[in-house]
Amino acid sequence: IVTNGPIFRDKTSILENWILGEQYIVKAESLKNYTGEYTLTLNNINYPLIISGEVPGNAVKIIGISDTVKTSMKYNDKLISFSFSFKKDSTRQNRLSGVEVGNGWAGTGTLANGDWGRWTISKLKSNEMTPAERKGTNPKMNEMGSILYPFQGYGFLNQPTAQDILLKNGTVWTSEKEGIIQGGDILIQNGKITKVGKNITAPGATVINAQGKHITPGIIDEHSHIAGTGSINECTQSVTAEVRMADILNPDDINIYRQLSGGVTASHLLHGSCNTIGGQTQLIKLRWGKNAEELKFDGWPGFIKFALGENVKRASSNQNTRFPDTRMGVEQVLEDAFVRAKQYAANNDPNKRKDLELEAILEILNGKRHITCHSYVASEILALLNIAQKHNFKVNTFTHILEGYKVADQMKKQGSAAAGFSDWWAYKAEVQDAIPQNDYIMNKVGVLSAINSDDAEMARRLNQEAAKSIKYAGMTEEDALKSVTINPATMLHVNDKTGSIKPGKDADIVIWSDHPLSIYAKAEKTIVDGIIYFDREKDAAQQKWIAMEKNRLVNKSIGAKKSGAKTDAPSPSLNEEEHCEEDHPHASNLWHRLEQRMNLNQND
């Protein structure tokens, strides 16, 4: 063997193996002497570059306009990689890699501003570099970043505030009796809509020219699982009415920002569906950068999630033998829950133990808490309606409800609303009878209906999901838009505050680049309570800033490693995206996390 140093030294590398007189090169580049003077051409700008010292890991000095930086190059066969930053941009890192070409190298890399660029290194002849080109200073690294709200890539440097805004000359979809106003104006003051019409003036207000744009109410997602800190299913028992989504809100969830980019301004956060009675839900406004308490929708009546069918009964067959295990058992669990709640209420013993589970169910019986129920099969929907009639309560909303078209008349009779999918079907046994005309039929019968997501990605395109009822069933454009604006606001009992463009309501508004039901439409600005929380132009600038900030952090990490700081292998953030269909997300994802980390460490 041939090595580049004493054989037992930590950093010694094997350069060659010789077996039976035949040479096997392990690190060919390490045998070469690259010392000398070069020209680095980066983005069409030339910098003198000096390579010195022993191989491997030569010391490299790159001389900028007024400063000098040092780095080291890594060679692997004919490949090369190195990184550096100039003093004037010391917080940002250029990271380059390439391949040997003649007496130099060429390649691409991530530049200090986050863009990709091309570079070359060409060797100079002796004494071609002047003495002045060999001078420079070593830059210091910026240690601290900025505080952001929330503290992540797309956070604000300063929390945005409400301002007086006058939207001019847009196509205004009011979702009210006024319909669509061509060339309409909207005045926003103190977080509220104060005027809607034409030729509105407002001295001092920020004017946004919406000519050629479309303006709609903010989209409201009746069924969402974003902004939680972990598992959303408490599957240990079938009735867990005491648990609350309000206790696990995560205001830093990037899905809040992503859904603002799709025009969503409010989301109804639900538990999963492994429980017959799953827990208390939470309606939030997508106030990006606010804390968990500030996300909560003011003056909103409480809801609770029920679930029927396959998800509930199959939850007993995984890691426990919990009752129920059949659809009949699900119905009996509901019956028993309301009987127990009535018995609890009838117990006038002043020393009785307060039962938070039964207290929540009593709120249903007293009309203080509303039900949203995960449902599919028509027979089960009718079973819950019968139980509601027997115990004198109302099922406010059936969600998912892909067989709603079969029982729409009965739902209308009892005043139940419906929030479903546009065209999901055939993903499990109980949705085989789903049809894409479902929402249209329920709407036609007179059931208040909406389109929901149940999915963090789909929620960014709920305007397109709503448009599918036009494609499949010929629903009017205004009715289609209402299925993601005023209709979900009404079934959530907040239509007096949001869901349409009307004076006195919260200024929850979206400015679209195109027809809001078009696949080409982009939310250019999303406004919540009169605050612009998403601006597509600022988003583009933010993406560039994130690339530069990433370079700064990489630069800092490289510097820390060179200074002897402890290092660790990179690991993914593993943010979970929750859905109704997950029975035990916490347990399964925990093992998934461990497996990923084990595999990652082994690979490293």
Q: Which of 225-229, 235-239, 587-591 has the lowest mean pLDDT?
A: 587-591
Q: Between the CA atoms of 207, 211, 213 and 218, what dihedral angle is there, to the nearest 10 degrees?
A: 30
Q: Which of 32-46, 122-136, 212-226, 581-595 has the lowest mean pLDDT?
A: 581-595
**Each residue of 507-520: pLDDT tens digit?**
999 999 999 999 99
Confidence at residue 132, expressed as pLDDT on a 0 to 100 scale: 54
pLDDT band at 60 (very low <50, low <70, confident <90, very high): confident
Confidence at residue 233, expressed as pLDDT on a 0 to 100 scale: 84
How many other C-beta atoms can be found within 10 angstroms of the C-beta atom of residue 365?
Answer: 15
| Tokens linked to 502 | 């009307």
**Is the backbone of residue 317 left (phi > 0), alpha (psi -120 to 50) or beta?**
alpha
pTM of the model: 0.78
Confidence at residue 526, expressed as pLDDT on a 0 to 100 scale: 98
**Is the backbone of residue 85 left (phi > 0), alpha (psi -120 to 50) or beta?**
beta
Burial class (CB in 10 A: 0-12, 13-18, 19+), 24: exposed
pLDDT band at 535 (very low <50, low <70, confident <90, very high): very high
Task: Give the chain's mean pLDDT.
Answer: 87
Within 8 A by CB and 6+ apart from 372, the residues are 222, 223, 268, 270, 281, 303, 304, 305, 306, 396, 397, 398, 399, 419
Confidence at residue 586, expressed as pLDDT on a 0 to 100 scale: 43
**Each residue of 106-132: pLDDT tens digit?**
999 888 777 788 888 888 876 666 665
Confidence at residue 594, expressed as pLDDT on a 0 to 100 scale: 41
d(CA 565, CA 18): 38
Full strand arrangement of the beta sheet holding 264-269: 219-224, 264-269, 282-285
Reply yes or no on whether the pLDDT at 386 is more than 50. yes
